[in-house]
Structure 1
Amino acid sequence: MIHNEMSRRRLLGLGLGLGAAATLTLAGCGGGDDSSGPAAAGNGGKDYTGPKVDLKLWNGFTGGDGEIFKTLVNQFNSEHQNIAVSVATYQWEDYYNKLPGAASSGNGPDIAVMHMDQLATFAARGVITELDDVASALELSEGDFAPTVWKGGIYNDKRYGIPLDMHPLGFYYNKAVMEKAGLDPNKPPTTRDEYMAALTELKKSGVQGFWVSPFQFTGGMTFYSLVYQFGGSLFDAEVNKATFNSDQAVEACTWLVDMIKQGFSPANVGQDADYLAFKSGKNAFNWNGIWQVNDLKKSADIQWGVAPLPQIGSTQAAWANSHNFTIVKQRSQNANKVSASKVFINWLSQHSLDWAKGGQVPARKTVRDSAEFKALTEVNALAPELEYAAFPPAAPGLGEVMTTFYNAFNEAALGKKSPKQALDDGVAKANKQLEDNRKKYGS
């Protein structure tokens, strides 16, 4: 279970592994009537009164969240006799590779779930269609969502995604390990001074309390968070230049590398070894995704807690991404299907409380403010991060640039280069990639 879960969520990040060849997993695929038929009145998803349509929906929810998602789809189908949604589930890397060709050949889905950082790329390639009318007809605005999530669905001043959730990095703490070091297990550190004091006490008790992974999961995401906490950014406002070699970014990277040099973390931590060590009581603190909440809840022998990331720098910040609903362009667009797809997107957005049980923070404010969501103690603990989450910018082709960012951190964490040299070299490569992307996508 651990292996499958980690493989799945490795692709929740920023464009990682989209060129990888992995085994295709098809959970279900429903046929659809692609005949044009009389066009239904398009009212942006308020309702659908046209003839029955079959909709195909693609997603990458191959873990436990996939079962929750399918349950919600089944509920929608039972409440809408003239709309039948069938679900096809793929590994994320296969999904993003397969979608453009499937759409252009007429074999793609009607609705596609997509990470925020992929929206601009697929919009620029003409794979997905605009959804401004959905937001307008349903009277959705930035006030209904966190501003960062709402703005993330926009590319070239047009909306392409309706946000469903956000999944941030959180701070997990092992209460038993803390207690053995004389720390209060119910008061996790929240500031840099508290964090360093706790690590010092843990070290005295023979525990390297904070294992720094050199890989994207989770060290790279930790570094991403710290760049923004220290006042830096990964790119300039126009995403024309990479800026992750700024003084603030170098300071953030140096702080993490010093964790290793000062003995608070072992060197050369293996992929996922930081999380496995946390579960086995070999370290106390782990910066990891919200998707680990349900895994830890299944481990009754582990005494743990979760909280927003400690503020190590001058401001609060946390890596995060978001799932968005999109509508895929068809070779021959069926107005009935488009209208019905918008009804589904709105319905699931409104019913995202059950989706939160899969380990996601709902994007919709009314759901986050509900007593039912607040009763989901662990997931709700990370909801405050939504207000200061550092989401990826809307720029086509960003995935390969982010891989360069994570590779630069990897070189620094492994001691192959100094933090400054690793980040300088990474920025030089990233700027060339950004330039190539502007030529490729015409922006």
Structure 2
Amino acid sequence: MKHSKLAAVAAAGVAIGLALAGCSSGSSSTGSSSSDQKVTLTFWNGFTGGDRPGYQQIVADWNKSHPNIQVDMTVESWDTIEAKLPAAWLTGSGPDIAAPSSDPNAVGDYVKTNSVLPITDTGTGSTQIDTKAFAPGLTQEFTYNGKLYGVPANYATLSLYYNKKAFTAAGLQPPKTVADFQADAKKLTGGTTQYGLVLADNQTIQMWPILQWLEGGDIVDSKGCSVVQTPAGQNSLSSWAKLVTDDKISPVGLTGAQADSLFGAGKAAMEMNGPWAGATYKADGIDYGVVPIPTGVDGKSATLGSTAPLAISAKTKYPKQAQEFLAYWTSKSTQEQFSLTTGFPPVRSDLTSDPKLTADPTISVFQSQVSDARQYLPQVKNATKVDSDAYTTLIGQITRGTPVSQATKQAQQTINSLTGCSS
């Protein structure tokens, strides 16, 4: 599992001495170099996983085709980036460009401290960022007070991985509806595999929101007010909680890494995961298939869309060049190549029928769900703490036997206090 647990951006008071050396940012936020002046843009990110080669290829291709604008990329863990970057950007000693976190909501924290540059060079030109081509919701995800402060570094949907051996032994086909999904998870528990469906609930991309959406529930409404305590919210949690507590379809308290390990060891029949997981499962020797998330009670599809942001320092010396690099990163040709390299769907919606991508059976599955994907707590106030203090706690309680009515009442109070909902 791509471990993108929502993490609060570290306080800007982190010691400035932690900032990485050799950065090219400066005190001017309006200056730019002439086209014949060679500049170096520094770039920090936490892409340390199996998709790392795709990002390295983008930078290598850019440097080859832009001899006067070179990009120097530093890759460290997300924890390290989140610890160093706030103070570095606040003081102007940080990188020109960064993926500040695996959590897209982190951009809002940097907006509050005036640490990120509003992106203005948008349009359809070759050096402009074509925001209208982004997958649904991605432009809005990084827009605050009417200004764009980031672009998607990647985009992924979660799909359903299934163990072919386990399904064949049970005489089953991959589920197409939520009713089949639940029934299969129960039938496959204790058979060829120990668990029917592994459900991580911490240190991971959240899977439980998908289960709620399939059952007609949600976490918050458009005003940021809790809806987990409503009849629809409780119903969307109850059936799955019962499958865990009574039918033991999944261990409780799993991290993303632990859930991955169970599936990779052949001890789980199904897992919801992103395109980054395939290479690991293949290396584990698992004969797996990938299908879209089953349709919900309303007959419609729903899955979770995951993205990480790319943003520019408000104090970069080279705002024009930095925006040009982001335009290149999100361009059609770059996104097509990135998708073929990593298995991720592109961040653009105008590559849906790209023959190179549709010909790949795995990419096509993830890409087919882009239009049905939803973000997790998009721009919800204090989303990081809503996740950690309310939602993760809620799932932990109901999978350990706490009545859903009791757990959701507590979660409602915590969510509303964090989002400021007064209704």
Alignment of 1:347 with 2:314, yes or no, is: no
1:23 maps to which residue?
A: none
Match of 1:374 among 349, 352, 358: 358
Alignment of 1:282 with 2:267, yes or no, is: yes
CA distance in 2, matches of 1:411, 1:94: 31
Displacement of 1:40:
4.3
Q: What pairs up with 1:195-206 in 2 under 5 angstroms?
A: 195-199=181-185, 201-203=187-189, 205=191
Displacement of 1:176:
0.5
Residue 93 of structure 1 aligns to a residue whose secondary structure is helix
* Contact map agreement 2:195 2:269 (CA 8 A) in 1: yes
CA distance in 2, matches of 1:420, 1:175: 37
Match of 1:148 among 137, 140, 156: 137
* Contact map agreement 1:164 1:364 (CA 8 A) in 2: no
Displacement of 1:55:
0.7
Deviations along 1:219-276, one digit per CA (max 9) or x if unpaired, are x72211122223333222132x232322222112112111124425155364344433
CA distance in 1, matches of 2:301, 2:94: 40
Amino acid at match of 1:428: Q
Amino acid at match of 1:326: A
- Aligned residues, how many? 404
1:62 maps to which residue?
A: 48
Displacement of 1:156:
1.9
2:15 maps to which residue?
A: none
Which one is further off, 344-353 or 59-68? 59-68
Amino acid at match of 1:123: V
1:32 maps to which residue?
A: 24
Deviations along 1:74-126, one digit per CA (max 9) or x if unpaired, are 21111111111101122112212321100112211111124422222222232
Match of 2:411 among 413, 422, 426: 426
When the two structures are superposed, what TM-score results if normalisation uses the length of structure 2?
0.85
- C-alpha RMSD over aligned residues: 3.0
* Contact map agreement 2:10 2:82 (CA 8 A) in 1: yes
CA distance in 2, matches of 1:122, 1:35: 17
Instruction: Give the structure with the higher percent helix.
Output: 1
Stretches of structure 1 lacking an aligned partner (at least 5 in a row): 1-5, 20-25, 42-47, 439-443
Alignment of 1:73 with 2:59, yes or no, is: yes
CA distance in 1, matches of 2:147, 2:27: 28
Stretches of structure 2 lacking an aligned partner (at least 5 in a row): 12-17
Q: CA separation of 1:200/1:86 partners in 2, compared to 1, >3 Å: closer, same or farther?
A: closer
* Contact map agreement 2:186 2:249 (CA 8 A) in 1: no
CA distance in 2, matches of 1:317, 1:79: 39
When the two structures are superposed, what TM-score results if normalisation uses the length of structure 1?
0.82
Alignment of 1:358 with 2:346, yes or no, is: no
1:441 maps to which residue?
A: none
2:156 maps to which residue?
A: 167
Q: CA separation of 1:400/1:93 partners in 2, compared to 1, >3 Å: closer, same or farther?
A: farther
Deviations along 1:334-365, one digit per CA (max 9) or x if unpaired, are 2xx11111111111112022322224221112
Q: CA separation of 1:59/1:207 partners in 2, compared to 1, >3 Å: closer, same or farther?
A: closer
Percent identical residues: 23
2:312 maps to which residue?
A: 327
Match of 1:294 among 266, 270, 279: 279
Q: What pairs up with 1:189-338 in 2 under 5 angstroms?
A: 189-199=175-185, 201-203=187-189, 205=191, 207-213=193-199, 215-216=201-202, 221-239=206-224, 241-268=225-252, 270-271=254-255, 272-299=257-284, 301-314=285-298, 315-330=300-315, 333-334=316-317, 337-338=318-319
CA distance in 1, matches of 2:352, 2:364: 8
Which one is further off, 249-258 or 173-182? 249-258
Residue 207 of structure 2 aligns to a residue whose secondary structure is helix
Displacement of 1:214:
5.5
Amino acid at match of 1:328: S
Amino acid at match of 1:79: S
CA distance in 2, matches of 1:291, 1:16: 24
Amino acid at match of 1:370: D
